[in-house]
Amino acid sequence: MSTITQQAASAAQDSTVPAQPWRPPSYWPFVLPALIVVLGVIIFPWLFTIWMSFQEWKVGSPTTFVGFANYLRLPADPRFVEAVGHTLSYTALSVVLPLVLGTFAAVIFHIKFPGRGILRALFIMPMMATPVAIALVWTMMFHPQLGVLNYLLSLVGLPPQLWVFHPGTVIPSLVLVETWQWTPLVMLIVLGGIAALPTEPYESAQIDGATTWQMFRYITLPLIMPFLFIAAMIRAIDAVKSFDIIFAITQGGPGTASETINLYLYSVAFVYYDLGYASAIALVFFALIVALTAALLILRRRAQWTGIDA
C-alpha cells in the first residue's frame, strides 16, 4: 500500500508542475535559408506551372481559366503524339546500345593487358566533352558530301547515307551520337561491379571446365545485374529529357522527324508563346519521367525478389 501511495503522490506532484512554454528549435536559423531556397526555386515554379496549365495564356494577352482543356488537347495533337513516339524510340535505343557496348567494354578493360590505363582514359574522353561541341563535330561528320562517315562507308563498299538529313535515319543517327558519348559511363559503372565480384565462383567454374562465355553468362552477368539496372536508370532518365544535342544537330528536323517532347515543349513555349499549353506538356512530360523511373524501380525490386542478385 505504501508503494502505491508514493506513486500516487509523485504523480500528483508531476501534474502540478506547470507546462514549459514552446520554444522554437535551435536549428531553425540553419534550416530556414535552405527551406526558403527550396520553396523559391523548386516548389513555387512547380505550383505556378500547375496553375498555368489550367489557363489559356499567350504572351501579350490576359489569362483565361480553361480547366483541363489544355490536357484534353494533347491526345488530339498529332505533333505531340509524334513527339512522344520519337522520345520513346530515342530513349529505348539510347539505353539498350550503351548498356550492351558498355558491358562489353567493361569486360574487355577488366582484363589486364599492356596500355590498359591509357586506353581507359581515352575511352572515357567523350563523356567529358560538352554537348554543343559534340553536336558541331558530329554535324560535320554527318554531312552527305563532305562528312567522314560516308567516306568510311565507301571504303567498305557501302552506299552513302543521308544520316540526320533524312526522316528515316535521323533518330538512329542521333542515337549513334548519344551512344558514343555515354557508353563510357556505363562502362565505368559495370567495371566497378566486375571489380567487386568474388573470385571463388570463377575458380570453381574453371575447375569444372566452363568456357569464357559460360562464365560470363552464368556468373558475371547475374552478379552485375544490379549495376546494369543502375546504369539503365541513369541513362533512361538522361535520354528521355535529352535536348541539347538534338537541338544543336537537327532542331527537330528534317520537318518534325526528330522532334522529341522536350523540343516540342520548347517550340510551344518560346516560338508560339503558348505558355498555358506548354505548361500542360511540361507536367505530362514530368509524369512520363516519373512513370519511367517507377517502372525501373519496380523491375529492380522484382529482380531482387527472384534472386538475380544472389
**pLDDT score, position 33:** 83
3-state helix/strand/coil string of the chain: CHHHHHHHHHHHHHHHCCCCCCCCCCCHHHHHHHHHHHHHHHHHHHHHHHHHHCEECECCCCCEECCCHHHHHCCCCHHHHHHHHHHHHHHHHHHHHHHHHHHHHHHHHHCCCCCHHHHHHHHCHHHHCCHHHHHHHHHHHCCCCCCHHHHHHHHCCCCCCCHHHCCCCHHHHHHHHHHHHHHHHHHHHHHHHHHCCCCHHHHHHHHCCCCHHHHHHHHHHHHCHHHHHHHHHHHHHHHHCCCHHHHHHCCCCCCCCCCCHHHHHHHHHHCCCEHHHHHHHHHHHHHHHHHHHHHHHHHHHHHHHCCCCC
Q: What is the pTM of this model?
A: 0.84
Superfamily of domain 71-305: MetI-like (1.10.3720.10)
Instruction: Grade residue 245 by pLDDT with cuts at 50, 70 and 90.
Output: very high
Average pLDDT score over the chain: 87
The domains of the chain are located at: 71-305
Instruction: Grade residue 63 by pLDDT with cuts at 50, 70 and 90.
Output: confident
